[in-house]
A and B are shown apart, each in its own frame.
Chain A
Amino acid sequence: MREAEAEWTGLMRSAISGDDAAYHRLLKAVTPILRAAARRGLARAGQPVDQSEDIVQDILLAVHLKRHTWDANAPFAPWLFAVARNKLIDSLRRRGRRVFVNIDDFAETIAGEPAAETASASEVAAQLQSLPARQRDVLQSIAVDSASIKDTAAKLAMSEGAVRVALHRGLATLTARLREE
């Protein structure tokens, strides 16, 4: 568990210095833990656990858009769990219950959680359709069609810079809409 956390911190530091692959690995590594905690939170609130993937995606978006608030000299796990806890409480509250989430919910699961299969959720996908056309096209191309930024730029007749801007704005808009829901 300690080792996993130390590894995350290292991956996040690499990510911030521009290593996209390290960032990808980090997000993949933390997702099963976030998923297990989301399920536990839903179960405790007496709600169907099949909504857990919406919460996981919500947390991942928040991690992505708020990662500049992480202090690179501090360990990554406490920051991650604070973000996750905040989003989990928020989601449960939106679903109509007041619940207390224990920070240990996250820490406990680090050891020996089976690498879960990838799962699908509907909220992000639904909001994707409501984005401005350009942001939607770019996100669609990169997320759903697995195209690279370069290929997306060629396909949509945009510059790579414009694709990057639309990608980031799209993610930010998506997150804002999910929050307002």
Chain B
Amino acid sequence: MQTDQLIRTLAADNAHRARPVGFALALALLAAAPVSLVMFFSALGVRPDVMTAMHDPFFDFKFAVTLALAISAISASLHLSRPEASLRGWGWLLLIPAGLLIAGIASEMMMPQRLPMMTRLVGSNSKICMTAIPLLSLPLLAAALVGLRHGAPARPAVAGALAGLLSAGLAATLYASHCTDDSPLFVASWYTIAAALVTAIGALAGSRMLRF
């Protein structure tokens, strides 16, 4: 085909307007959220003492960390869906949840301790945590990848990793309401390992799915 012919054809399609990537991502995540919610409520559910736990700042702190992770990964992934964008100036966003964790650990250290450090670190739910967060995040990860396919990331593996981080953040938010381990030490170790696993899956899938 002549390039001139192709150009004329593309111009004829100029009226077509694609939705912004953020819209596609939001739509996909909203469609997948019920799947993760059903998985969560049928297998785990909210912990029974949630009403009293809500008054414990360390319980609430878990949501600050997981939501900070989800929100910063969503913003960074939308930014990176533009081909000329780089992570420069945006990478610090991902340091927010890490900074929160460090602040949480430090403030717990300053409190009079009910339990020894190793007990808090190992917790009683580490296996469930490491299984539940990746499993709950899979529908959200698939949705995030579908939504981000709408964009044009120059680095598909990085964009995929961010899709992994954002879905892990959302899944961890759900899981945090089930888990009775509230120590920031527990969150910093087990949640991080679970999120890293999902991020790796996202990077791998993204390097294939997010090429444009």
* Contact B2 A118, beta carbon cutoff 8 Å: yes
* A139 CA / B9 CA spacing, docked (Å): 8
Q: What is the minimal beta-carbon distance from B12 to any residue of chain A, in angstroms?
A: 5
List the A side residues contacting B19 at CB < 8 Å. Answer: 68
Which residue of B is nearest A28, CB measured?
B7
Given contacts A18-B15, A118-B2, contact A171 B9 (CB under 8 A): yes
Number of A interface residues at 8 Å Cβ cutoff, please give it.
Answer: 52
Q: Report which of A31, A62, A71, A144 forms a contact with B82, defined as CB distance below 8 A.
A: A71
Q: Report which of B6, B13, B82, B154 forms a contact with A57, defined as CB distance below 8 A.
A: B6
* Contact A164 B15, beta carbon cutoff 8 Å: yes
List the B side residues contacting A23 at CB < 8 Å. Answer: 10-11, 14
Q: Report which of B1, B13, B212 forms a contact with A124, defined as CB distance below 8 A.
A: B1
* Contact B13 A164, beta carbon cutoff 8 Å: yes
* Contact A20 B15, beta carbon cutoff 8 Å: yes
* A74 CA / B152 CA spacing, docked (Å): 16
A74-91 with Cβ < 8 A to chain B: 74, 78-79, 81-83, 85-86, 90
Q: Report which of B5, B81, B84, B211 forms a contact with A79, defined as CB distance below 8 A.
A: B84
Q: Report which of B3, B7, B9, B18 forms a contact with A53, defined as CB distance below 8 A.
A: B3
Given contacts A64-B13, A69-B21, A121-B1, contact A143 B211 (CB under 8 A): no
* Contact B5 A171, beta carbon cutoff 8 Å: no
- Count contacts between A and B, CB distance < 8 Å: 116
List the B side residues contacting A79 at CB < 8 Å. Answer: 82-84
Q: What is the minimal beta-carbon distance from A122 to any residue of chain B, in angstroms?
A: 8
Q: What is the minimal beta-carbon distance from B18 to any residue of chain A, in angstroms?
A: 4
Which residue of A is nearest B9, CB measured?
A143
B1-58 with Cβ < 8 A to chain A: 1-21
B97 within 8 A of A: no
Which residue of A is nearest B6, CB measured?
A57
B169 within 8 A of A: no
List the A side residues contacting B82 at CB < 8 Å. Answer: 69-71, 79
* A28 CA / B6 CA spacing, docked (Å): 10
Q: What is the minimal beta-carbon distance from A69 to any residue of chain B, in angstroms?
A: 5
* Contact A69 B81, beta carbon cutoff 8 Å: yes
Residues of A within 8 A of B (CB): 15, 18-21, 23-24, 27-28, 31, 53, 56-57, 60-62, 64-71, 74, 78-79, 81-83, 85-86, 90, 118-121, 124-125, 128, 139, 142-144, 146, 148-149, 164, 167-168, 171, 179
6 shortest interchain CB distances as A-B pairs: A82-B84, A82-B83, A24-B11, A68-B18, A66-B152, A125-B1
- Given A65-B18, A68-B18, A85-B154, list of 13 further CB < 8 A pairs? A20-B14, A23-B11, A24-B8, A56-B3, A61-B10, A62-B212, A66-B212, A79-B82, A79-B83, A90-B211, A143-B8, A146-B8, A171-B9
A-B contact pairs, 13 of them (CB 8 A): A15-B14, A20-B11, A21-B11, A27-B11, A28-B4, A69-B151, A71-B82, A79-B84, A118-B3, A139-B9, A144-B1, A144-B5, A164-B16
